[in-house]
Structure 1
Amino acid sequence: MLPLRTDRLLLYPCRLPLLTEIYLEHPHASETLGAYIPADWPQPDLKEQLPHFIELLQHDPKSFPWMLWIIVSVAEKKVLGDAGFKGRPDKNGVVEIGYSILPEYRRMGYMEEAAAALVDWAFQQPHVKKLIAECDVTNIASMKVLQKLGMRETGASGEMLHWYLLNK
């Protein structure tokens, strides 16, 4: 059932209208989510990717919900960050996960909680056999999240470490 709910979080997958509202910084996005959207969210990397997500959903509606999910605190009714996938699973059942949380909410377990919910959701979907991720070699916090999810490091290319987790 969407949104996904954990002990402390709600994870909302973004349909095209919500993505557009977020990109345009329209106040209705906050109403749609039922949550306050901080001025520093979306962060620069996501802000840069939003036009690509919008275009992809316009041309491939089946990409929903394999894109952006918004992480909302149940207690604060506030956007804490985002997570999601870099598109639909490929023909081999592989999907890549990514995530980001606002700096003031780091080291509180929120990202592990959100990512675990998304991993569980992804592995319940037909044809998903493998989850992959990458993180910068200096991003210790992200490495810890990936390790706690049970992912295994497969190696590095440049400044990026690569990870995987197989569906059981």
Structure 2
Amino acid sequence: RSWQLQVELSGERTRRQFSLDEAAGTIPSRRDHIRVGAEAVHTAHRLQPGVGLHYFYLSEQGYTGRNLDEIADIRRQEPTLSGHFTLPLAQAVTLRPAIYLGAATIDQSYSESDDDDHRGFIGKLALPFEILLSRKDNAILTLAPTFYLHKAAFGGGNLQLHWPM
């Protein structure tokens, strides 16, 4: 067996009332979200290349937790195609570059800031470096910078430590 298929489905339907300031009363908030994805990886190849199809939907209104007292109205639909491979760099260091290409419809408005809408191409290049800290414990440190292709800009990054207990 040389191909591995993974399918993922997650979602959320939440209704809440937030009381941020006694004088302002409560703020009704709702969040509807779904994420669907399928990915195939060629496990018999030394680089383990993979491709995936993903869909993300979000509709959120009210307090989103972004800034105190900021009310938002967010609607996002993002179908995406992805590709990745694994590149061993040293005995304990691996680079897993991935590219994400899609067409997004994003309508976002915030009470305290400018609207942030986007329609059309979105792209992201992720360059996660995985460093094996302990083979015995399967402990891994990941440094993952990302770059936006549709904005030609640095997209941020994160640092993760996975140390199973």
Return the TM-score normalized by structure 1.
0.34
Counting strand residues as a fraction of each chain, which structure ranks higher?
A: 2
Larger radius of gyration: 2
Return the TM-score normalized by structure 2.
0.35
Higher RCO (C-alpha under 8 Å, 6+ residues apart): 1
